[in-house]
Structure 1
Amino acid sequence: MIKYGISILLICFFSIFTSFAQVSADCANAVPICYNTPVNGGANGYGIDDFNGASISGCINQGSGTIETNSAWYKFKIGEVGQLGFNIGFDTDEDWDFALYRTNDCSTLGDPVRCNYFDNSDDSSFIGVGEDPTGIDNIQYDDWLDVEPGEEYLLMINNFRNNNSGFSIQFSGSIFVEFPYSALDCDIIDNLLGAPVIACDDQTVVLDATTADAKTYQWELDAGAGYQRIPGESDPELSIAVSGMYRVIIVRNSGNPITSETQVAYAPSPETFSLEDETACLDGTAIDFNEKDVEALGAQSPLDFRISYHESFEDAFDGANALSKEFIPTKVAQTIYVRTTSIENSMCFDASETFEVNGIELPVLDFETEVFICGDEPIVTIGQRIPDNDFTYEWSSGQTSSLITVAEPGVYTLSVTNKEGLIQCITVRSVTVVFSSPPVISDITIEYEDDASNVVNVYLEEDGDFEFQVDNETPQNSGVFNNLFPGEHTITVSDVNGCGSDSRDIVVVGFPKFFTPNGDNVNDTWKVDGLSALDNPVITIYDRYGKLLYQIFENSAGWTGSFNGALLPESDYWFKLTYTNSLGESTNASYINNHFTLKR
């Protein structure tokens, strides 16, 4: 573990004290605040009607009388450029509202730039601008306010109930991180002792009442029972150890005495306890940092402090870029910086503790997830070829080596474990083994619907994962081809996994299914279209007994349905086609042995 010593300087946050208050019910007498914030002991009624009888201002509506009921007015002036917010803290069973105006003129308030009016049905302990300091998603918060130097604001805090125990104001936002001493312009405070002071309980606050012509200094404390003289304190400066209202009375050599009051309030400082290191698999599984909160808090109450986790000490110190409580580790080794923050005063914090997150790398498996084997008696070796001796291997088949040899198709799953202590990080990868056989074309049929339409069907000896292709066209999943052009074609069937192919040559022609040689000049002759696409084509016509009747050549006019000058009877007749193929060989056209009908 690494510890860092931190000296925390209070900037701008709050605590609640009911024994005394700084509050003004009138806008004209708004309490000025700057880098420290006031603590109000409750609001009781209002002075004049600052809204001149209006029934609504922004989100604040008129109640039984005026917009204001139990109101408190404050004013502040911006000293730097940045993002500003504030938290108004109160008891969870109370309901407070606010309206913020960008002006210093109570007579021309205009519309509020931020406004919130909810019934606190969720029992929240804060309303405001920016983010709820407890980290919850609170509907009673408005968006951050972008501010510039010289802007002045009036803030009205209102309560429609008479029984309220008070509130406190805590400023927040990036402007206070970048400009802790000048975010707000303290020239707005016209008071010898300055603005109210909010400090962490491990700090010492010094009030300075130094006056040039002072004769004596008398210091008094109101801790809830009225002002009482502080014995022995007569110096210009007073070191404060307890919360309360402080007053100094200065007797001068000339002129009237000066009396000045201010408030000092302390918020508890947290302590971060040591945290155990964590070990997790780098598999996207989250570590629940909510469980680490218990370690960090020790006996401290989670109602008083909140825990955040950060990647760097700078982020932890600034309270910036908090990690998700569902933390997913991505590194083999990572230091997590812990910040414990007072909910009362977010500038009271401890960022002294860290812990380590040790990530266990998952085994990397890179073997193929699909293996295709071609052959009648296939066998194949699958798995991780280079094993890691620090890992254990187990297949779904029960084998415990990184490589196995299989002779059956199927899905084989390998689980590889990297174990450190009680943590097991497992990578699982499956491989599908497919045994394939080359396709074998058993038959091809060519069906002619008429002299222009045809359907080619390709049949295989066995089913498989095959694709079908005609000539050099795009392969398809089906063995059916429609309306091929007349001529010679090559049909190829291939195994998609590379396990061989089979091809056949076919010839497609066009011919009528019947003809009527009756002398009416319609279908008087029978001929075959598409022969011009072939070399030396010859059509030979037979009767049903195989008797040669007639031959048609490329430029022939066709057959008239006669033999040796005699008209043949109505019947079905068969034909075959021969031609010279691309190798110069005379061959019979495969898969053409069709028939047609002679009608009279």
Structure 2
Amino acid sequence: MKYIYHLFLLFTIGVQAQFIQVNSSYTPTQLVKDIFLGSDCIEIDERSIEISGYHQSGFISYGYFDKGTSDFPLENGILLSTGNLNAAVGPNNYLQSFTANNWEGDRDLEEALEIQNTLDATILEFDFISLQDDRITFEYIFASEQYLRTASEGRCGYTDGFAFLIKEVDSRDDYQNIAVIPYTSIPVSVLTIFGNGGLCPPINPQYFRQFNIGHSATNFNGETVVLNAVANIIPGKKYHIKLVIADQGNGLYDSGVFLKAGSFSGGKDLGEDLLVATNNALCLGETTLLDATTPNATSYKWYKDNIEIIGATDATYIVNLPGNYRVEILLPSGCTITAERKIEYYSNLLILQNHFEFCDEDLDGSVTLNLMDYNYQIIANANTVQIKYYNTLADAEANRNEIHQLDFTTSEHSKTIFVAISTDRCSSVFHPISFSKKTLSSADPIPTIEICDELLDHQEAINLEDYLTFIPNLNDDYRFFTSEIDARNNINPIRDQQNLTGNMTFYIRFSQADLCENIMSISFVLKQAKRSETLVDHTICEGTTTTLNAGDGFESYLWLHNGSTSPIITDVPVGTYHVRLELNGCFYTQEVVVHAAENPVIENIIVSGNTVTVIVANPNPSYMFALDDGNFQNSHIFYNVSIGNHTIAVQSSNECLPVFQTFSIVNMVNFISPNSDGINDVLDYSDLMYKLNPKFQVYNRYGHILFEGSTTNHFIWDGTFNGKTVASGNYWYTLEWTEPGSEQVNRQTNSILVKSK
């Protein structure tokens, strides 16, 4: 082999990354003879080697590549791009759309692919002569930004063009394009090879390698698998090969062709590969002859799957096993011709699996299996063969009574049937296939769970997951349901958080290791305690005690303040108490409050003539009132009260000690004649001098104050206003005072007739 890699040392030395590396320092001759050429039996005319593309201002569209530490399928070789060589290095984190003015397309490419308006063409071409080989081959990968994954990136229908064109030098014949889909004449492009999972519909996805996402080896959106370009030639004749790639329509969405180093070599045609995918594989027991006869050959050496076949040194070899076959043919000139052919057998697609286990998904005991669902589990490439199912081997051999489904009753747990596998070319092969029903997961029945309604509101929140400890070895894929039908059909699952509103049953669908799913019920009984109807709040007089009675009908009692377990507690003072009452195994803690009776507060005693009105704070209809030592009455008004000192008693209805207040009724004068005759000349309430907060006011019928008593005037009114005697008529006056040692205000009002003359 002539190709060498020492020039790679010219590239930047550094830490190898997980992306391809590129190098633009190679000359066209080095790229073709030292990198691309891989055969001593091919002579290349160095004068004919040309590479054209874009090479300016630090940008170049072609050069050398190396996979580095990445997972790129080709170790190294030549990259021809419609954009910038350096932009092809991964990761795939931006769009390659390099273009330039006056970067033209290629007319030969347009004619070969029957397209128009190409630009940004990069071309590698040279002349060669094969000394002995009757064909040339090389390996390549096509990559493009036009492999779109999402609608936001663009749309389908666009493709860059590339072709590998070959013809005899000086021939007027058209170029032959050998960049085609295997075993067809269809040119390779984004529109003819596209994988699953992208924006555009898949086409020939078996030839698509991957979409590049994230830290990919290259910055192209996607790429093909490694493809082979093959051309039959006549040894000794000179041929011109032109490898060209170009954008079409505009310079957006660049593409590239990676040519494998050392792959441009000659070979001999051993015939078309026999493949299951192309439906021309061999049948079980068939053989095929590989004929590598070459004039003047000095030796033959055969290989199967890159391992030498010991003793196989003839020009022909009979194949009876599947594999990749290669022959090396040594010529007198010293060069070696190689030829390869891949042989597959339909019988090589042996049964992948002959025993299947299944579950009774709806748990009704009966199961129907659709046998077609097992085709790809029995044979990997089931679409390339015919598969039929039979109950017996005799039926299978006779091709009668074909079945399409397998029914299992409640009592049936396993069955064996026969599958017949055939192709259009090959006879049927028969295999027994067995099916068995897997065991259901199981656990002891979950006992009914009693839940207490703690708040007596006829509901209680529960978490169904809290009760799964009854099921051993439980997998994490359990689900809850409200009905058995839903659980069996695995529909309408519910949350684990539920609210009990009575006696309720839930269902869990669960599985255990290597066992089928099963269902179990979880039943709940919502139990309630109850309140004591006899235990009510009490009101007692200050300084006294009472008795609290929780009543009968409870299983246990516990007074939390003193630990008593009796339904009745005595000598209970004012306070808040709690008793825990048990019924049906449930507990309810009830609160009862013993209030202190509020003593009446006498705010005022109003005297109007001989009528006395008692004013109390927060009046209560149950209050009772008494005057002096008289009997208690409901009314707070007393009539015909005599002049002098008196005592009012107010008592609450629970017969607590009464509160007392003293007051006085003074002689309310209702006539004066201020004529200085010494009789009834003045209105004299000088006794107020000895009271607290005394007040004495006289006012006319319009409410205008005519006189204000004070210590200066000794609370005596002489019937004048502003020094003049008032006119004869009716007037009113008010007296107020507080007795020493009391906070109670005494108030009396009366009218008075004044006769001036």
Q: Same fold (TM over 0.5)?
A: no
Larger gyration radius, structure 1 or structure 2: 2
Of structures 1 and 2, the one scoring higher in RCO (CA 8 A, sep 6+) is 1
